[in-house]
Amino acid sequence: MLDSDFMELSAFKRHRRLRSSRAIRGLVREAELTPRHLVYPIFVEAGLSGRQPIGSMPGQDRLGIDALAAEARDLGSLAVPAVLLFGLPAAKDDRGSGAYARDGIVQTAIRAMKDANPELLVVGDVCLCEYTSHGHCGMLRPDGSVDNDASLPLLAETAVSLAEAGCDIIAPSDMMDGRVSAIRQSLDAAGFPETPILSYAAKFASAFYGPFREAADSAPQFGDRRGYQMDPANGRMALDEVMTDIAEGADMVMVKPALPYLDVLANVRASVDVPVAAYNVSGEYSMLMAAVQNGWLDEQRAIDETLTSIRRAGADIVITYHAKQWAARQ
């Protein structure tokens, strides 16, 4: 072979050398995904016995208190370290009092799961939407608009009640301005200065929440949440929201939803030093599972790719309804 021929053959880089076997691919893999990165959301319903399938979320159920001990032990066996709890109360009112009742559904669920698996981390969602008769995330003024400042004491009281029940991490999702500061001050005053806050800092007004609203019975009775959740077009504003929450005392921040906002997630990860979470929300889950049920996607590979993409974009923590299913294959 002539020297010129050799040079011509060597003129391009052979990236395939690092893809030639499973072992090599694993050795050079950039984004690691393990069960320890995952948080599993759970819907707990007052008065329910056992489990009730959620129609719009194939493979997901509402759970009664009596089903939580087995669920907590299952998660422990799968090495999934944390759950995010959402409650469906027995009754609702205009102040969302079930959210901060000391014997509320989530407060009771925390104790049940901790009794069954003390090592399980419990993340408590702080919002009023599941508990208010009107379905909005805060208190209402007489004209039907959400009263941001009047909502803060109730959100703070909710956070304290969850911490008292044994909640490990407080996660405000309401998107009221100033709620992180109000919650931090109330937790500290109540004797919980070590309880961290995972703020839903960049929570967008998304169409991908539809199945969740069925699962949690939390759809607003009128209007929508665009006045307090973020406009999907605003990436720079998302970073401003994140920085504000960190300044108010958030220990971790979240981007929600995940897949339509991977650019926001990557920007947040590049801009802050605190841990970053992303919520692979109900609509993302249901969309994938519907395609699987129709035979359009390979379930295992699609879930792997979805969760890996969220990690690759920068999430330290991935909140996902796929957590148990994915962890069971590891």
H/E stretch holding 263: helix 262-271
Distances in Å between the Cα of 57 and the Cα atoms of 53, 256, 271, 282, 296 are 8, 18, 34, 7, 17
CATH of domain 32-327: 3.20.20.70
Using an 8 Å Cβ cutoff, are 119 and 160 in contact?
no
Q: How far is Cα 162 from Cα 85, in angstroms, rounded to an integer?
A: 11
Give the CA radius of gyration of the chain: 22
User: Is 70 exceeded by the pLDDT of residue 1?
Assistant: no
> What element of type H or E holds 34?
none
Q: Tell me the per-residue pLDDT of 277-296, one tens digit each, with 9 for 90 and over.
A: 999 999 999 999 999 999 99
Pairing of β 61-63 and β 82-88: unpaired
Please tell me whether residue 113 adopts helix, strand or coil conformation: helix
Marked catalytic residue, from 13, 92, 114, 203 = 203
Q: Could you tell me the pTM of the whole model?
A: 0.93
Mean pLDDT of 20-39: 92
Catalytic residue among 13, 92, 114, 256: 256
- Measure the CA–CA gap between 274 and 157, rounded to whole angstroms: 25
Mean pLDDT over 122-145 rounds to 91
pLDDT band at 138 (very low <50, low <70, confident <90, very high): confident
By DSSP bridging, strand 51-53 and strand 61-63 are antiparallel
**% of the chain residues with pLDDT over 90:** 81
Q: What 3-state class would DSSP assign to 62? A: strand
**pLDDT band, residue 200 (cuts 50/70/90):** very high
For residue 169, the cross-strand partners are: 123
Q: Average pLDDT of 17-41? A: 92
Catalytic status, residue 324: no
Phi-psi region of 47 (alpha: psi -120 to 50; beta: other; left: phi over 0): left
Q: Residue 12: its pLDDT value, please?
A: 82
Residue 3 has pLDDT above 70, yes or no: no
Mean per-residue pLDDT of the chain: 93
Which of 62-66, 73-77, 133-137, 319-323 is predicted least confidently?
133-137
- pLDDT score at 225: 79
Domain chopping of the chain, boundaries: 32-327
